[in-house]
Copies of this chain bind each other. A is one copy, B any other.
Amino acid sequence: MNNIRLDNFLRGVLEEDINTGDLTTESIVLPQAQAVGRFIVKEEGVIAGLDVMQRVFELLDRDVSLVPFVCEGQYVSAMTTIAEIRGPARALLTGERTALNLLQRLSGIATQTKRYVKAVEGYKAAIVDTRKTTPGLRMLEKYAVKVGGGVNHRFGLYDAVMIKDNHIAVAGGIIPAVHQVRCSLGHTVKIEVEADNLEQTKEAIAAEADIILLDNMDIETLNKGVGLIGGKAIVEASGGITLETVAAIAQTGVDVISVGALTHSVKALDISLEMRVG
């Protein structure tokens, strides 16, 4: 995580909520008033974002201190107090919603990731994320996937190659597409090819792709795909994967399973801040 970028993001996010000022708090609470609060998780899940939340409050007031009672990534049961916060009441009241919005979202992602990871326990397949993240939050959401036990796929269009249908159509086939990329890009970049069927899988193998994405295949085809590749490339499966289907996919022997739902359809973990005047 890049902390300079994180601070910059959090300042923007606080600006979105505060704009010209917190009308309620500034009218009612004196600057010197102190408060104490406890963060309580209302449902079981994996906690992610404790440091991020702490930074939200620190940016509002350096005198806020947050003491976590659980570790980042810990699975906690409902009604667990996960942290205590102390400091100027204004900062606590003004930062509460922004901090919770982040903590709940990141914990929601980590919790969902953990469920997928558990579902494939015993198989070699890693659960990885996609680029289907909330615009502006990719660094944080991919961080939450890691906290939940998942693994990160590429971060964007700039750090790995993914050759899809349309690239293949333009290039006139998988082999020329991979060839063009290899001539253009350096030795540090991995090349992944999306294959929609076994024919394309064979071409991708022939093109010596580093990673082959078996997209939207049924279990039987996946099995054949894994067999064809036979270790000559990393095998990724994707396409409408759910908690119900993920184990069967893992059983085919694929190396990684990418799950868009980890980030595109997040259920926030229910967490609240109970404050009292200090």
Instruction: Please name all residues of chain B whose beta carbon is closer than 8 Å to the beta carbon of A128 when the two chains form the complex.
Output: 186-187
State the CA gap A260–B88 with chains docked (Å). 27
Q: Are A255 and B187 in contact (CB under 8 A)?
A: yes
State the CA gap A60–B87 with chains docked (Å). 25
Most buried by B among A2, A20, A100, A131: A20
Shortest beta-carbon distance, A185 to chain B, in Å?
6
Chain A, residues 106-145, CB within 8 Å of chain B (1/0): the string is 0010000000000000000010100111111111001000
Nearest neighbor of A158 in chain B, beta-carbon distance: B19
Nearest neighbor of A255 in chain B, beta-carbon distance: B187
Given contacts A4-B11, A5-B18, A266-B266, contact A256 B28 (CB under 8 A): no
Q: Are B21 and A157 in contact (CB under 8 A)?
A: yes
A97 interface neighbour in B14, B16, B132, Cβ under 8 Å? B132
A166 interface neighbour in B136, B186, B192, B275, Cβ under 8 Å? B275
Q: Are B135 and A24 in contact (CB under 8 A)?
A: no
Q: Does A54 contact B (CB under 8 A)?
A: no
Instruction: Please name all residues of chain B whose beta carbon is closer than 8 Å to the beta carbon of A202 when the two chains form the complex.
Output: none
Q: Are A135 and B15 in contact (CB under 8 A)?
A: no
Shortest beta-carbon distance, A231 to chain B, in Å?
13
Q: Are B24 and A170 in contact (CB under 8 A)?
A: no
Chain A, residues 155-170, CB within 8 Å of chain B (1/0): the string is 1111111111111011
Q: Are B189 and A23 in contact (CB under 8 A)?
A: yes
State the CA gap A257–B246 with chains docked (Å). 38
Nearest neighbor of A19 in chain B, beta-carbon distance: B158
Instruction: Please name all residues of chain B whose beta carbon is closer than 8 Å to the beta carbon of A20 when the two chains form the complex.
Output: 1-2, 5, 138-139, 142, 155, 158
A26 interface neighbour in B1, B256, B268, Cβ under 8 Å? B1
Instruction: Please name all residues of chain B whose beta carbon is closer than 8 Å to the beta carbon of A15 when the two chains form the complex.
Output: 2, 4-5
Of A74-82, A176-184, A220-228, the one contacting chain B is A176-184
Given contacts A18-B157, A21-B1, contact A136 B187 (CB under 8 A): no
A selection of 22 A-B contacts at a CB cut-off of 8 Å is: A2-B14, A2-B22, A4-B59, A4-B60, A17-B131, A21-B158, A23-B181, A25-B157, A25-B167, A27-B180, A28-B180, A98-B135, A100-B132, A101-B264, A126-B186, A128-B186, A153-B186, A154-B188, A188-B211, A265-B266, A265-B267, A266-B266
Since A24-B157, A28-B167, A187-B234 are in contact, a sample of 6 more A-B pairs with Cβ atoms closer than 8 Å, ordered by chain A residue number, is: A2-B21, A16-B139, A17-B131, A23-B157, A104-B132, A266-B266
Closest 9 CB pairs between A and B? A27-B184, A22-B157, A159-B159, A160-B188, A19-B158, A13-B135, A265-B267, A264-B268, A136-B136
